[in-house]
Structure 1
Amino acid sequence: MASFTLSEFKAVVDACFDGAEAAALEESVLDSEFADLGYDSLTVYEIVVRIQDEFSVRVPDEQLDELTTPGALIAYVDAQLAAA
């Protein structure tokens, strides 16, 4: 069974952008809003699309509206992987 952790999230962010974006992601920011971290909705959408492609997990748009922090997104994807 696969899991989705901060490490995997950082790898996805790194693949979408550059290492500087991923380097800023630490445990201390997991509960910060994406907007507070400088991620606009298009950025979050790009990250989610890559997660869906790489991990074969579906994140419905209506669910994405509720996943406003990296920690919430990581927990959601991890739960989906555990259920699969």
Structure 2
Amino acid sequence: MTTSLPVVINLLAKSLEVAPESITGETELESLGADSLTVIEVIFDLEEHFNIQVGDERPDLKCVQDIADQIDRRIASQVAAP
């Protein structure tokens, strides 16, 4: 399964103006200073990047890997859909 984690890390790093090397999947969004608006903006960017639609559901996202997992699930479900 392809993982969106590197793309998520790069988008968060750019949005928050931090070095991508300082972000891992386990990095907590709060420790990066990412508020809910930042997370939503990153998700919008990911939707555009991967040509997917996440929709209005916003699960509890605590760490960077949570965002990547959400995007990966959406990509997998759209690939599986006829």
5+ residue gaps, structure 1: none
Letter in 2 for 1:9: V
- Does 1:7 pair with 2:6? yes
Query: TM-score scaled to structure 1, two decimals?
Result: 0.69
**What is the correspondence of 1:54-69 to structure 2 with a 5 Å cutoff?**
54-61=49-56, 63-69=57-63
Bigger Cα displacement from structure 2, 52-61 vs 63-72: 63-72
TM-aligned CA deviation for residue 46 of structure 1 = 1.2
Number of matched pairs: 78
Using the alignment, how far apart are the partners of 2:64 and 2:26 within structure 1? 11
Query: TM-score scaled to structure 2, two decimals?
Result: 0.70
What stretches of structure 1 move > 3 A for 4+ residues in a row? 14-18
TM-aligned CA deviation for residue 78 of structure 1 = 0.8
The one of 20, 23, 26 equivalent to 1:25 is 23
- Deviations along 1:23-81, one digit per CA (max 9) or x if unpaired, are 3212442xx2x2233101111111111001111122233x2242332111111111111
5+ residue gaps, structure 2: none
Other-structure match for 2:68: 74
Identity %, equivalent residues: 19
